[in-house]
Amino acid sequence: MKLLIVEDEKALMDNMLSYLSRGDLVCEHASTFREAQDKLVSFSYDIVVLDIMLPDGNGLNLLRLLKDKQPEAGVLIISAKNALDDRIAGLELGADDYLTKPFHLPELNARLKAIFRRRKFQGHKEVQFNEISINTDTHDATVHDVSLILTLKEYELLVFFIANKNRVLTKQTIAEHLWGDHVDVQDSFDFVYQHIKNLRKKITAAGGEDYIKTIYGLGYKLNG
């Protein structure tokens, strides 16, 4: 999966590159409007991560160019918080999803994979992880072809884990992925534990291996 990240802040870009490059992604980057324009015209990408606010131009114009040149490419917009207008304009221009700064890197990773799935595997949206397979269209999960009866949250949790396999996911990252930013109304994120416990139980009951490792006090990790 080939990715172009358009972001003018070098350190933020470095963060994204370091995190994403460790997976099965090929990442290129552009830090100005012009650079991004050149790359979009010359090369093709599966997904473009686009910061709307660029020093030398509006990212929305890049989005128009991209939709013109490479209509099959997926787009994830990064925008400032509360910049609702930019977000709506971006989605109307054909962006697949958006993230508001600041975001968790695992969240970015999961969103990119979701876009990739939607874009590339039309009619066959299957995620495979060892003996676990998930159909993201029907939301069916199986272990060794045994169906898992999962709640919506457990299903989302499993997809999130697989998208970020071998990565540490803090309770906060998981909670915000499943319940959104407002989850901080809860006194602690310990409720995440209950959902993970149930998910583990269901996978092992269906004959699957327990891949989820607890990192005490911090979070969880899916070892694959």
Partner 1 sequence: MSLLTKITILNLLLAFAAFGIGGVRVYHKFRFEVQRETDFTLMESFDQVEQIIRAGVPAADLQNRLMSIARVDTAGPADRKMVFADTLAQHPVLKRPELFRKLTVTREIDGQFYRFMLMNVVIEQSDISRIITNVLQDLFVVLGGILLIFNFLISKWLLGPFKATLEKVKSFNLQSGEVPVFPKTSTVEFKRLNSFLAEMLAKAGKDYRSLKEFSENASHELQTPLAIANGKLELLLEAPGLDDSQLQLVQDAQEALSRLSKLNEALLLLTKIENQEFAPQTPVNFSDILNADVQIFEELAGMKGLLLSTAISPSVLLRIDPSLAHILVGNLLKNAIRHNVGDGWIKVRLDVGQLTVSNTGTAPAVPTDQLFGRFQKSNLPGKSLGLGLAIVKKICDVNAMTVNYTYHDGVHEVAVRF
Binding site for partner 1 (CB under 8 A): 9, 11-12, 15-16, 18-19, 22, 80-82, 84, 101-106, 167-168, 170, 172, 179-180, 182-187, 191, 215-219
Q: Rounded CA gap, 120 and 114, in Å?
A: 10
Q: By the 8 A CB rule, do 62 and 36 touch?
A: yes
Q: By the 8 A CB rule, do 101 and 76 touch?
A: no
165 exposure class (CB count in 10 Å sphere: 0-12, 13-18, 19+): middle
Looking up tokens 């697949």, which residue turns up? 96
